[in-house]
Amino acid sequence: MSLDSQERIFEILRHRGHLSATGQKVVLGFMEQWGVDAFKAVIETHLVDESKIAEILSEEFKLPRLMRVRILNVESEVFDFVPYEFALEHLAFPFELKSDGTLRVVFADASNPDRIKSLEVVAGKKIAAYVGERSEIISAIQRHYPISKQLPGLLSANFSERGL
């Protein structure tokens, strides 16, 4: 996460009364200790509930809030546009390809507009971004992505761990 994105998360949460100066110090310490970004640190420290963060980001960036991500009925063609590794790294779950070619994707952290732009480049599609809860997006990625889309990344990770 870039410093701008980190500061954006802190500023949004402070402005809305969900992160005190002490809370921010706790988050910064957690980030340093565990090497995670501000978004994940805020959730992992339980200073702000992930559903509240999703609600705040939805309002802040004027993006629709998608509830109950894990129960979506997803057409498998959407996975051709968002690689499994990208989905996991950026917590971005594609769930519908509209008839006009727009790919609907739910993000856990919508605080970085560059993430959406980079997905447009990767997918070769216009992205309609939504905001959802982190745990539901992770669950949806694990549940819905076909194993054939997961295998290349899993195999390369396995080989690199073994030094092959």
pLDDT (tens digit per residue) in 96-136? 999 999 999 999 998 888 889 999 999 999 999 999 999 99
Instruction: Write down the pTM of the prediction.
Output: 0.86
101: left (phi over 0), alpha (psi -120 to 50) or beta: left
Provide the residue ranges of all domains of the chain, joining segments of one domain with +: 3-48, 69-161
Res 155 pLDDT > 70: no
Per-residue confidence (pLDDT) for residue 153, from 0 to 100: 55
Inter-residue long-range contacts of 38-42, CB under 8 Å, 24+ positions, other chains counted: 38/1, 38/5, 38/6, 38/9, 38/10, 39/1, 39/5, 39/9, 39/108, 39/109, 39/111, 39/134, 40/134, 42/9, 42/13
Q: Which has more confidence, 15 or 5?
A: 15
For 24-75, the pLDDT digits (tens) are 999 999 999 999 999 999 999 999 999 999 999 999 999 999 988 867 788 8
Res 3 pLDDT > 70: no
| CA–CA dist 113, 5 (Å, integer) | 9
- Would you state the structure tokens that stand for residue 158, as one six-digit string? 């396995």
Look at the block and give the residue holding tokens 């980079």: 118
Q: What's the CATH fold of domain 69-161?
A: GMP Synthetase; Chain A, domain 3 (3.30.300)
